Amino acid sequence: MDIDTLNRRFGRPPAVTFANSPLGGPVVTLAIDGGHVMASLIGGQVLSWVAHGRERLWLSPSARLDTGKPVRGGVPVCWPWFGPHPVDAQKPAHGFVRTRIWEVAEVAGDAASPSVTLSYPTDDADLLIWPHECEARLTVTLCESAALELSLATENCGLVPMHVTAALHTYFRVADIARVRLEGLENRIFIDKLSAGARKVEPGAVRFAGEVDRIYLGDTDRIRLVDEAAGAAIEITSAGSRSAVVWNPWSAKAARLGDMGSPGAYREMVCIESANAGDDIVTVLPGDRHTLRASYRIG
């Protein structure tokens, strides 16, 4: 649909509006007093979350929606697999929906708590890389105090069970990664992807002094991101998940990635991902649905 049609069918200005973004693609914006959130219809990806006058997500300065490549930053949707494909490394990392056009399925809520649901039903071409008829539905809701709630539902529309991993790959903006700590993962087992998948135990709050790439397992439903340099904190809660991914590329890896935007950009971000990853593999039976949820509140 073109933007005018989307606004006629689904728009509820000023709470819900559609526009062509300067980044090169169609976006939907939810707005309430105290904040707004913007999501792209390409990839079903949240690009911006402003709460209490501050941008809370990191987006690469080089981000473009119209290149056919995944956008780094915001909240990419990793689906229906997380990371490399489990048996075929030639298939795209983090699944295939990050560059697809998503449909607007529904707009709901009221002016105080608007929401939009974007859907991606697999098509015949997708069956060549993922042999399951299924649908992903991302619901984005802006709540009281500009809290952001996300839910990623996976529905199995086929005739056989399917095994899914997924993530809401959230890039949070921070003032200085060296002065960030994560609370709530103490004593949790994690898979250290920088140590050949070795399993370790987190002794205390997570801090950053170099590259970090970890999958925390088990009870990871409450994490507190404390940005000491900015004097701010974000409470992260999740459901439908028994794993959480924590990632920062640090300087050498960031330079190799090529799409971070500047050499020091890694200092301004940290990924904390509500996920089904590692041992947390979800089986979705025919006709059933699994929902991964994440909620972000300032506090």
For tokens 């996300």, the residue is 150
Rounded to 5°, angle at Cα 240 from 147 and 80: 100
- 216 — phi, psi (to 5°)? -85, 140
C-alpha dihedral (297, 239, 260, 141), degrees to nearest 10: -50
Tokens 């709630």 found at: 149
Q: What is the DSSP letter of 253?
A: H
> What distance in Å separates the CA atoms of residue 212 and residue 17, rounded to the nearest whole number?
37
Return the CA Rg of the chain. 18
The total of other beta-carbon atoms located within 10 Å of residue 283's CB is 11
273 is catalytic: yes
List Cα–Cα distances, 296 to 37, 147, 149, in angstroms.
12, 6, 6
Buried b (16+ CB within 10 A) or exposed e, 11-41: bbeebbbbeebebebbbbbbbbeebbbbbbb
Helix (H, G, I), strand (E, B) or coil at 89: coil
User: Which neighbouring-strand residues pair with 246?
Assistant: 214, 272
Query: Is the N-terminal amide bond of 80 cis, ω within 30° of 0?
Result: yes
Q: Are 59 and 48 in contact (CB under 8 A)?
A: yes
Q: Which residue out of 169, 183, 228, 268 is catalytically annotated?
A: 169
* 169 annotated active-site: yes
Catalytic (active-site) positions: 169, 273
